[in-house]
Amino acid sequence: MRAQWRTLSIGVLAVTLVATGCSPTPDDGGGGEQETRTQTGSVSYDPADNTGPAPAVEGARRGGTVTVLQNADFEHLDPARTYVNRAQMTSGLFQRSLTGYQEDGSGELKVVGDLATDPGKDVDGDCKVWQYTLRDGLKYEDGSPVTSKDVAYGVARSFAPNLNEGPKYIQQWLYPGGVYNATYRGPYDGGKATPDGVETPDDRTIRFTFAEPHCDMPYAAALATTVPVPAAKDTRENYDLRPFSSGPYKVRSYQRDVALELERNPHWDPATDPLRTAYPDAYRFSFGLEAAQAAERLVADAPADQASITWEDVPPAVLSRTTSGPVAERVIKGPTQYTWTLTINTQRVTDLNVRKALNYAVDKDAMLKAIGGQAAGSPATTLMSPTTAGWRAYDVFGAPVTGDPQKAKELLAGKTPSLVLAYANTELRTQQAEAIRKTLTERGFTITTKALDSSSYYDEIGRKDNPYDLYLSGWGADWPTGSTVIPPVYDGREIAPEGNNNLSYVDDPGVSAEIDRIRRLPAAEQDAAWMALDQKIMRELAPVVPCYYDATYELRGSKVGNAFLSDAFGVIQVNTLFVKQ
């Protein structure tokens, strides 16, 4: 899953994962006392977990409006195109998928039925056929019933080439062995209404049949791929602007780059929903604020902002004012599942020695200090995050966190590569890009920087013919196994003209063959194999510079209740917030 300015949803299998994060100190924007965060969870078939309404929050009352202050608009809200963590978190207020994550801030996640009555039935016990039964009483914002055919149609339209920015697990499982939409390209322009392998024998039942076992289906079904879309409401590319609600809220108004306003869906029945309490009367997402502006407003906690939160990390200039007193009590922080990399476009930077030189030249410490020091994360050397099952530390290059200029220049052998560095045009990413430019320039490169609109950043670098050599990107496991990191990000067979997750555009037959081999291994052997492939990719191909393992440091207003860091999405959760009266 992409991290925001992105973070992909993480589901946690039946393992315990530990990551460390650090609190900032006023002197350098970093350092301080370490904290640990343990993420545990499982697929739950316990009726108590799968039955609505969602557990009540002590002291919560209905009413009020929660405002989310953020820099940029969402790239996409269309479920076929939604893959950035903030968009996933937001769309969950008005769009429901077959399954979802139930969490309470304790670090334990439960995958339970959302639209479905449970996480799914493994029909034959071999994980090849999965059946879901929709709950009674599910209704859209106009009062019409949600049907299994709508879910199937939502899956079908995700095959359309112009709606291809979202996750592709289910699509690849239905059409394995090549590009997922090579033969089936969705229901438009004469295409079939549903993909092969998807059946809807009645309005409450949907069945998926895969050629190979996929025991992770309860996790994949939590992604927006399974959000229902009624064919009559499908506006294709324009669905981004007015998605049709199956959740507790609906879109009241949406002015791109200004604000998204949500109001109650009067036809949502809390008895059908084990995930969302829907205490606030409304949500407002306000765009166009730099991180410092949002942080300043929340530190001040004026009456107009007391029911607000921000998903922007507190920038270095404001950090010192958040570490003590009442403001410190309103900080939501911790490590997340994302690894941030300086991604190298291998189509353009074809010299392996230049890519290796970049791994020696980058100053990871300077990159972190530019956006908050240790509050923003810790230096990385691997592709996968420490929260991923089977993770182990390795360091192919062994460079100090400040880099090794001499080794970089040795690999360049007198060359001065001219590279274009693209970055999102937010305050913090601009500062971070300048830190990268300065360091690389000092160490043998000629760097030109290019600012991209943050609301379309991943769309731009996801185009195969993009004109950039370097760009920052963040990726976290959709559920914490290497199968949700290595294949989507490093399998060259899935590279398309646009909408790519493989942003380095590395296309190595050996990597693809190893991906296929690992997928055939017994489940108990896969974690170690994914980690070995992680190291092989870095050692032999160096398609990225692993920079840091992400952490978040966000603020809430004094009247926002039940705010905690979502282990599923890496930002303050919104499903069970309330406004204090």
CATH number, residue 172: 3.40.190.10
The reply to whether 372 and 520 lie within a common domain is yes
Residue 32 has pLDDT above 70, yes or no: no
Based on the fold, state whether residues 126 and 113 are members of the same structural domain.
yes
Count of domains observed in the chain: 2
Does a structural domain hold residue 24? Answer: no
Sorting pLDDT into bands at 50, 70 and 90, what band is 1?
Answer: low
Question: Given pLDDT bands bounded at 50, 70 and 90, which one contains residue 30?
Answer: very low
Rounded mean pLDDT of 224-250?
A: 97
Q: Distance between CA 41 and CA 50 in Å, rounded?
A: 15
pLDDT at 2: 52
CA atoms within 13 A on the CB side of 248: 26
Q: What is the pLDDT of residues 366-417, one digit of tens each?
A: 999 999 898 899 999 999 999 899 999 999 999 999 999 999 999 999 999 9
**For residue 24, pLDDT beyond 60:** no
pLDDT given at position 49: 97
Q: What is the CATH number of the domain that holds 348?
A: 3.10.105.10
Co-location of 568 and 505 in the same domain: no
340/488 same-domain check: yes
Statement to judge: residues 387 and 278 lie in one domain: no
Cβ atoms of 548 and 565 within 8 Å: the answer is no
Q: Is 12 within the bounds of a domain?
A: no
Pull the structure tokens for residue 394.
Answer: 């390795």
Residue 17 domain-assigned? no
Three-state DSSP state, 354: helix
Query: Quick one: pLDDT band at residue 154, thresholds 50, 70, 90?
Result: very high
Instruction: Write down the pLDDT at residue 540.
Output: 98
DSSP string of 288-334, one letter each residue: ---HHHHHHHHHHT-GGGTTEEE-SPPPHHHHGGGSSHHHHTTEEEE
- What does the pLDDT average to over 526-541? 97
Say if residue 458 is in the same domain as residue 361: yes
**What pLDDT does residue 494 have?**
87
The predicted model gives 73-89 an average pLDDT of 95
Closest listed residue to residue 156, CA positions, set 201, 187, 110:
187
Looking at the DSSP assignment, which residues form a beta bridge with residue 202?
205
Q: How is the chain split among helix, strand and coil, in percent rounded to 5?
A: 30, 25, 50
| Two tokens, residue 557 | 């207003």
With a CB cutoff of 8 Å and minimum separation 6, the contacts of 396 are: 359, 381, 535, 538, 539, 542
Residues 279, 354 within the same domain? no
State which residues form the domain around 562.
Answer: 44-284+556-579
Residues 99 and 206 both lie in one domain: yes
302 C-beta neighbours (distance < 10 Å), count? 10
Q: What is the signed CA dihedral for 538, 531, 15, 105, rounded to 10 degrees? A: 10
- Residues 566 and 470 reside in one and the same domain: no
Domain identity same for 561 and 503? no
Whether omega for the bond prior to residue 53 falls within 30 degrees of 0, making it cis, is yes
Whether residue 147 lies inside any domain: the answer is: yes
